[in-house]
Amino acid sequence: MSEPAASRFHARFDKALGAYLGLAIGDALGATVEFMRPREILLQYGTHRDIVGGGWLKLARGQVTDDTTMSLALGEALLAGGTEGITRLRDGQDDALVRRIGEAYVAWWRAGPVDCGNTCRRGIQRFLQNGSLSGPPNDGDGGNGAAMRNLPVALATLGDHAAFETLSLAQARLTHHHPLSDAATLGLGELLRGLIAGHDHAALCRRIERWVADEPAFRHTPYRGRATAYVVDTVQTVLHFVSAHDDFEDAVVATVNQGDDADTTGALVGMLAGARCGASRLPWRWVSRLQPATLRAITDQTSGLLALADQLTGVPHG
Ligand code: MN
Ligand code: MN
């Protein structure tokens, strides 16, 4: 590998790993205050800024929830399906990869996850009963559960936009069939891909401005202060805090202290802010609090998914 190619390779790995670890950090930090109101958080924790577990799920310190573990299940399925699975789906040859992802969600669910959203549960049960890869469009499917777990798709398809779109929507619709869920899944994935390609804070803010001009439902200015699991509230919260704070820690702390679906808004802000700063600049007191198995799974998947993207786009190594 030539020197510029090697430094691009390392920069990309650092940003991709920063995104995945940032997702887990935001999840672990936010889960403690999930479903609380900002005032309740203030009374109980002051400003909540330490990964301590607890919360309504009674988590162990450093434990993550469905936001991270469903992403890991999706990532595993992508690695098992390989480039062939992705290209065959992208080119309309077959949807074996989507079945594989559905099976991975079933296995995840049967293993007894610490939490599981209602729409995710319904979609997984539907797949289990009749192998259906998507429900009909449903007004009730506007939750954030499909958008929260799409990070592995964004990594595995870097450099192949058609594959990114097809695979993002396919994994999303296993559980969520709603135009705003689709738009959030694609839009957040696009922001992430831009950051991994090297966008700085100013470039991110310009991309966000363009996105909300196209998709006014997600306009976050003025911020309404709603951080529920409805995907519109989630995206507005994520866009507000990631554009208001250039610093990873500031962005994630401000997000989770907004409460409500704090693990998911925290995870998505952590994902974007982590890609922006890279893994090497994440606060060590948070990285080191994640459980070793989570750290290892995330690190392994990040290299595997980036290698998949390189195979997909035919980037030579060595
Ligand atoms: Mn969760
Ligand atoms: Mn949540």
Reported as a single tens digit per residue, the pLDDT across 129-183 is 999 999 999 999 999 999 999 999 999 999 999 999 999 999 999 999 999 999 9
Average pLDDT across the chain, whole number: 97
Spatial neighbors of 127 by CB under 8 A, at least 6 apart, are 102, 105, 106, 133, 174
- Predicted confidence (pLDDT) per residue in 174-231, tens digit: 999 999 999 999 999 999 999 999 999 999 999 999 999 999 999 999 999 999 999 9
CA of 19 to the centre of ligand 1 (A): 17
CA of 45 to the centre of ligand 2 (A): 19
The per-residue pLDDT for 185 is: 98
- Taking the CA atoms of 155, 159, 165 and 166 in sequence, report the sign of the dihedral they define: negative
CA of 125 to the centre of ligand 2 (A): 20
> In sequence order, what are the beta bridge partners of 59?
54
CA of 75 to the centre of ligand 2 (A): 19
The per-residue pLDDT for 1 is: 76
Query: Are residues 26 and 252 in contact, defined by beta-carbon separation less than 8 angstroms?
Result: yes
Share of the chain above pLDDT 90, in %: 97
Of all ligands present, the nearest one to the C-alpha of 57 is 1
CA of 243 to the centre of ligand 2 (A): 21
Query: Are residues 223 and 236 in contact, defined by beta-carbon separation less than 8 angstroms?
Result: yes
Q: How far is CA 160 from CA 81, 83, 129, 155, 231, in A?
A: 17, 12, 33, 10, 26
Of all ligands present, the nearest one to the C-alpha of 237 is 2
Please give the CATH topology (third level) of the domain spanning 3-313. Answer: ADP-ribosylglycohydrolase fold (1.10.4080)
Of all ligands present, the nearest one to the C-alpha of 69 is 1
pLDDT at 318 over 50: no
The per-residue pLDDT for 317 is: 61
CA of 84 to the centre of ligand 2 (A): 33
Our CA angle for 6, 20, 274, nearest 5°, is 80
CA of 267 to the centre of ligand 2 (A): 9
Tokens linked to 247: 């610093």
- Predicted confidence (pLDDT) per residue in 77-134, tens digit: 999 999 999 999 999 999 999 999 999 999 999 999 999 999 999 999 999 999 999 9
Q: How confident is the model at residue 315 (pLDDT cuts 50, 70, 90)?
A: confident
CA of 27 to the centre of ligand 1 (A): 7
Dmax over Cα atoms in the chain, in whole Å?
56
CA-nearest of 16, 7, 15, 296 to 155 is: 16
pLDDT at 2 over 90: no
CA of 116 to the centre of ligand 1 (A): 7
